[in-house]
Amino acid sequence: MSDLQQQALKYHAEPTPGKISVALTTPAETVDDLALAYSPGVAEPVREIAADPNNAYKYTAKGNTVAVISNGTAILGLGNLGPLASKPVMEGKALLFKRFANIDSFDIEVRHRTTEEFINTVANIADTFGGINLEDIKAPECFEIEQELIKRCHVPVFHDDQHGTAIVTAAGMLNALEIQGKDLAESTIVCLGAGAAAIACMELLIKCGAQREKIYMLDRKGVIHTRRDDLNEYKKLFANNTDKRTLEDVIDGADVFVGVSGANLLSPEALKLMAPNPVVFACSNPDPEIKPEIALAARDDLIMATGRSDYPNQVNNVLCFPFIFRGALDVRATKINDEMKVAAVEAIRSLAKEPVPAEVLEAAKVKELNFGREYIIPKPMDPRLLERVSSAVANAAIASGVANIEQE
């Protein structure tokens, strides 16, 4: 067992098993306290909520809670290991919600036989929470699950593996293209991978200005094209009318490569086929489609991003999901719509262009960070993200008509 494995297991086991707990927010020391906390005093908020369900936000913790829900069918890069095995990941998500946005989260792992069972379970408990974060659910079921829950729930539902990845990718991509002197609308994009994250990333890039016909998506069988008869409804959206069939075919002259697939799938030879000043996002974890040192040895004119913290330009969902939920909860949004996602993109990317505070440099263990090839997106520990992103998201919710209250 490696040192990292031992450290990780010890971290999760000590001093108390797990990473989260419940804390009290009101006194519970005297007989009088208990009479208010439970019977008979608790009957009063019960009556108020029965009379008006919105009073749940006034008298309970609903407005600052998010359920982190999984069925364990796509845990990290480990695959379908079942609901219980996903619990450490869901607790970790709850830890991040609390650490970065002071949101209280509860992890819920659901065992089910059919997709409909899962949907019904989540829909039936959704009103308990201020929002629902779906996590580690495999494609294509994740699309149906999220779409149906958005229809049925009165609180925002957000599949972070799709949209969190997409928001951070789009923010970094727009900045990288700006540095490289390229326009997203004119860029040819190659996307290696056709799962939940890949499809969501490409859809959001389209909303930010990319042209669908300039996107080439590949799955395990190669280029997704119009003459294939094995495509699900989500892949069909990216079927190109082309004779190109391989990665080498489509990457020749491409401006952008986005990898959400697997390790070491982009060769230096293929990278050399790209247009001048390319942008490469190799986001497979823990090992990227091409390692930065190999990519930079192949050509020195690229901007490189990965999903790892030990390289520059980490595409990390923690830049997004705590803050998009913070903004949604603050105005009691009923959903997280495209306007809110694009607002998050713009808030994240604009922050990277500002001077970096000393506390962020210290936390990142670097002497300086300046907007450029090795700094295209903010560091996750940047405290400005909370106010900037959540405010932008809240304002977008208000402007698009999905907020129930004005931002305080």
* Residue-by-residue DSSP string for 116-163: HHHHHHHHHHGGGSSEEEE-S--TTHHHHHHHHHHHH-SS-EEEHHHH
Total-model pTM: 0.94
Given a cut of 80, is residue 1 above it in pLDDT?
A: no
Calpha distance 257→18 (Å, rounded): 38
Average pLDDT on 158-177 reads 96
Please report the domains of the chain, with CATH numbers, ordered by start residue.
17-162 (3.40.50.10380), 166-306 (3.40.50.720), 319-399 (no CATH)
Average pLDDT on 336-355 reads 97
Calpha distance 115→118 (Å, rounded): 5
pLDDT at residue 298, rounded to an integer: 96
Share the mean pLDDT of the chain: 95
Give 132: exposed, middle or buried? Use CB within 10 Å, 0-12, 13-18, 19+.
Answer: buried
Q: How many CB atoms lie within 10 A of CB 267?
A: 16
Calpha distance 143→139 (Å, rounded): 7
Share of residues in the chain with pLDDT > 90 (%): 91
Q: Is the dihedral of CA 340, 278, 76, 15 positive or negative?
A: negative
Q: Distance of CA 148 to CAs 57, 133, 154, 185, Å?
A: 25, 14, 12, 32
| In contact, 187 and 181? CB cutoff 8 Å | no
Q: How sure is the predictor about 405, in pLDDT bands with cuts at 50, 70 and 90? A: confident
Given a cut of 60, is residue 176 above it in pLDDT?
A: yes
Q: How sure is the predictor about 408, in pLDDT bands with cuts at 50, 70 and 90? A: low
The string of pLDDT tens digits covering residues 92-133 is: 999 999 999 999 999 999 999 999 999 999 999 999 999 999
The distance from CA 192 to its chain's CA centroid, rounded to whole angstroms, is 18
Given a cut of 90, is residue 406 above it in pLDDT?
A: no
| In contact, 308 and 314? CB cutoff 8 Å | yes
78 versus 66: which is more confidently predicted? 66
Residues acting as catalytic residues: 38, 93
Average pLDDT on 309-332 reads 94
